[in-house]
Structure 1
Amino acid sequence: MECLILGAGAGSRLMPLTARLPKPLLPLGPTTILGRLVDQVAPLGARRILCNLHHHAEAAEDYFARADLALPVVTRREDRLRGPAGAMLTFEDELTAADTVLVVSGDLYLGDGALAELVRRHHESGSDLSVLAVEVDDGSRFGVFRLDDGGRPTALDEKPAWAAGRRSWVSGGAYCLRPELLKRVPTEGLYDFGAHLIPELLAERAAVGLVPWLGRWDDLGTTDSYRRAVLDDLASRAPAGGNVHHVAPTARVHPSALLTGRVLVADDAVVGAGARLHDTVVLPGATVPDHTTVADGCVA
């Protein structure tokens, strides 16, 4: 199996958090969003991770040169964005030579076992393409599946207005597929799983399988969702209701600063004298000035 983690997006909805970093490299406890995904892929049989780069590619390459991850990461720059499915052509030779291709959006926060369930169900079903599917309260921001009476997908509508405020099964941003599908990817323009590949396959009645996932899932596309994932990750490392902090080795926190709740202070960040932080994320290189109070926030 080859695994491609998508790392080229600009993360514009997360600005200014992504002003200096690609979104998958935002800190998450002692690792990063991407580092957590690598940990979850490692037991599945891949011997490496492939990762396409574009936005702040230099920062990503520097990170991979220094990071101690569960699997080696091979990076390649996209000179122009091709879209999530089009990005597979960046590693066309590697992916077409594989038995199975796993593609994971680099901005997912998944409960342990999600990717293992996707790969297992894909192999059992014999589908051409298997999609991790999650249920959300408002489907209008996602690719929403239309299902028949047997729960099988018949169509996929990208960000439909009709799904606003409506509980829906949506594409969860992780896909397992037969490498032969790369032949369908055009060499020009943007090509997406939700807007193009999946609807095309469903229209042709190809074997597209949904793998429902009821565990932890979040699309870390907004500041609120990112902070929520960081705090959830920290909470998982501490007794219920207890304070838990992760301060990176290269961060500087003044002895008079007060940290309560769940607080992450990332690499090279500075927390000044008398500062008070509660349920807050301080990003790499950021500064919290002396005597500043931040609650329920992100500091970039």
Structure 2
Amino acid sequence: MECLILGAGAGTRLMPLTDRLPKPLLPLGPTTILGRLVGQVASLGPDRVLCNLHHHAAAAEAYLASVEHALPVLTRREERLRGPAGSMLTFQDELAAADTVLVVSGDLYLGDGALGELVRRHEESGSELTVLAVEVDDGSRFGVFRLDDRGRPTALEEKPAWAAGRRSWISGGAYCLRPELLKRVPNDRIHDFGADLIPELLAERADVTLAPWLGRWDDLGTIESYRRAVLDELVSGTPGGGDAHYVAPTARVHPSARLTGRVHVADRAVVEAGVRLHDTVVLPGATVPAHTTVADGCVA
């Protein structure tokens, strides 16, 4: 198996958090979003992880060269963005030689076991493509599956208005596929899983399987969803209260600063005198000025 983690996106919905960092390199506990995903992939047995880069590619390359992960990470710059499915062509030779291809969005926060369940369901079904499917309360921001009376997918619609406020099964941003599907991906335009490849296969009545996942899942595409995931990683705290703090070894927190609730202070961050932080994330290299109060926020 080869695994591609998608790391080229600009993370526009997360700005200004992504002004200096690519989204997969945002901190998540003592590691990053990417590092956590690599650790989850490692349990599935591949020898390495592939990762395409574009936004702040140099920063990502420098970070990956300096930090050891659970698996070696082979990176390659995608000079011209080709969309999530099109990104597979960046590693076309490596993926074409695999028995199974696992593609994971680089902004997912998954409970342990989600990717293993996806791979297991794919191997059992023998399908051309298996999609991690999650159920949400409002499907209007996602790609929503239409299902037949046996629960099999018949269509996938991107951000449909009819799914607003409606509990829906959506594409969860992780895919397991046969490498032969690479031949369907065009090289001259953006090609997406949700907008292009999956609907095309379903329209042709190709064998597409869903791997339902009922555990933790979050798309870290907004500042609030990212902050929630970082604070949830502080497992000794609870959403309803209790203090749990992570201060990176290279961060500096003034002795007079007060940290309450769940607080994450990342590498090279500075928290000056008299600061009060509550349920807050301080990103790498950020400074919280003296006598500032931040509650339920992110500081970049």
Q: For structure 1, which runs of at least 5 residues remain unmatched after alignment?
A: none
Corresponding residue of 1:280: 280
Structural mapping, 1:68-87, within 5 Å = 68-87=68-87
Secondary structure (helix, strand or coil) at the match of 1:85 reads: helix
Letter aligned with residue 74 of structure 2: V
Q: Give 1:67 shift.
A: 1.1
The answer to whether the 8 Å contact 2:237/2:261 transfers is: no
Corresponding residue of 1:169: 169
Q: Give 1:162 shift.
A: 1.1
Secondary structure (helix, strand or coil) at the match of 1:45 reads: coil
Corresponding residue of 2:259: 259
Q: Aligned pair 1:154/2:137, yes or no?
A: no
Letter aligned with residue 152 of structure 1: R
Corresponding residue of 1:269: 269
Corresponding residue of 1:118: 118
Q: Give 1:137 shift.
A: 0.8
Secondary structure (helix, strand or coil) at the match of 2:16 reads: coil
Letter aligned with residue 290 of structure 1: A
Corresponding residue of 1:13: 13
Letter aligned with residue 214 of structure 2: L
Structure 1 vs Structure 2 CA RMSD? 0.9
TM-score (norm 2): 0.98
Q: Aligned pair 1:93/2:93, yes or no?
A: yes
| Structure 2 Cα separation of the partners of residues 275 and 47 of structure 1 | 45
Q: For structure 2, which runs of at least 5 residues remain unmatched after alignment?
A: none
| Structure 1 Cα separation of the partners of residues 61 and 236 of structure 2 | 29
Corresponding residue of 2:60: 60
| Structure 2 Cα separation of the partners of residues 194 and 239 of structure 1 | 34
Q: Give 1:243 shift.
A: 1.2
Corresponding residue of 1:221: 221
TM-score (norm 1): 0.98
Identity of aligned residues (%): 83
Q: Give 1:237 shift.
A: 4.0
Between the two proteins, the alignment pairs up a number of residues equal to 299
Letter aligned with residue 232 of structure 2: D
| Structure 2 Cα separation of the partners of residues 146 and 294 of structure 1 | 43
Letter aligned with residue 203 of structure 1: A
Cα shift readout 1:9-51 (whole Å, capped 9, x = no counterpart): 0000000000000001000000001111001000101110100
Secondary structure (helix, strand or coil) at the match of 1:169 reads: strand
Corresponding residue of 1:129: 129
Q: Give 1:164 shift.
A: 1.0
| Structure 1 Cα separation of the partners of residues 22 and 197 of structure 2 | 25
